[in-house]
Amino acid sequence: RLHSIRSVLESDRIALVKVDLPPLGVAVLVRQLRQLSICDFSPGVVASAARLLSHYIYAGALLNSVARLDRVPVSLKSHAKSWVPGSQFAVLAGPEPQLVKVGPAAEPLAGPDFGTHLLVAKGNLQSAWVQETLAPAW
C-alpha cells in the first residue's frame, strides 16, 4: 500500500508510523506533526517526534454507555451502572486507561503533570462537566 501511495503522490517523503492511540488521539498527533512539518524538519525528525509526542496526548470522552470500549477495562459494576438512564462516564483512553462515573462525588481523572491545552469537541451529551470540573482540575 505504501508503494502505491508513494507512486500516486510521486513522493518518497511518505512513511507509515505506528502509534498506539485512539482515533481522537491520532487526530491530535497529526495536527501537532503538521505544525512540525511547517518548520522544515526532515521526515525522520517528524517521524521520531510522533513516537515521543504520543506519550503526551491524553485522549478521552464523556459517554453515557461503556459498552464496546476496547481500550479501557470495564468492570461488571460499570456495565450495570451504564444501563441507568442519565448516567455518564468519563473515559480516558491514553496514556493510562481510566474510567470514572461522572457525578458530584466522583474522583477526578488523573491529568497531566505539565501545562496543557484542552481540546473539546461537542457531542450529543448535554453536560457541563468537562468545562466545570475537568478543565479546572487539569
- Does residue 37 lie in a domain region? yes
Based on the domain organization, do 47 and 66 belong to the same domain?
Answer: no
The pLDDT value recorded for residue 115 is: 84
- Does residue 11 lie in a domain region? yes
The pLDDT value recorded for residue 29 is: 92
Based on the domain organization, do 81 and 92 belong to the same domain?
Answer: yes
Based on the domain organization, do 11 and 52 belong to the same domain?
Answer: yes
Residue 106's domain comprises: 58-111
The pLDDT value recorded for residue 95 is: 83
- Does residue 116 lie in a domain region? no
- Does residue 123 lie in a domain region? no
The pLDDT value recorded for residue 6 is: 67
pTM of the model: 0.73
The pLDDT value recorded for residue 60 is: 86
Based on the domain organization, do 43 and 28 belong to the same domain?
Answer: yes
The number of folded domains in the chain is: 2
Based on the domain organization, do 42 and 64 belong to the same domain?
Answer: no
The three cell numbers locating residue 25: 488521539
- Does residue 127 lie in a domain region? no
Based on the domain organization, do 13 and 50 belong to the same domain?
Answer: yes
Q: Please report, in tens digits, the pLDDT of each residue of the chain (138 residues total).
A: 667 766 767 766 667 788 888 888 899 999 999 898 888 888 788 888 998 998 889 888 888 888 887 778 777 777 677 777 878 888 888 788 888 888 777 777 888 888 888 888 777 877 788 888 888 887
Based on the domain organization, do 26 and 44 belong to the same domain?
Answer: yes
The pLDDT value recorded for residue 90 is: 85
- Does residue 124 lie in a domain region? no
Asked which of 56, 83, 99 is the last residue of a domain, the reply is 56
* Burial category of 62 from C-beta neighbours within 10 Å (exposed 0-12, middle 13-18, buried 19 and up): middle
Count other Cβ atoms within 10 Å, centred on residue 108: 13
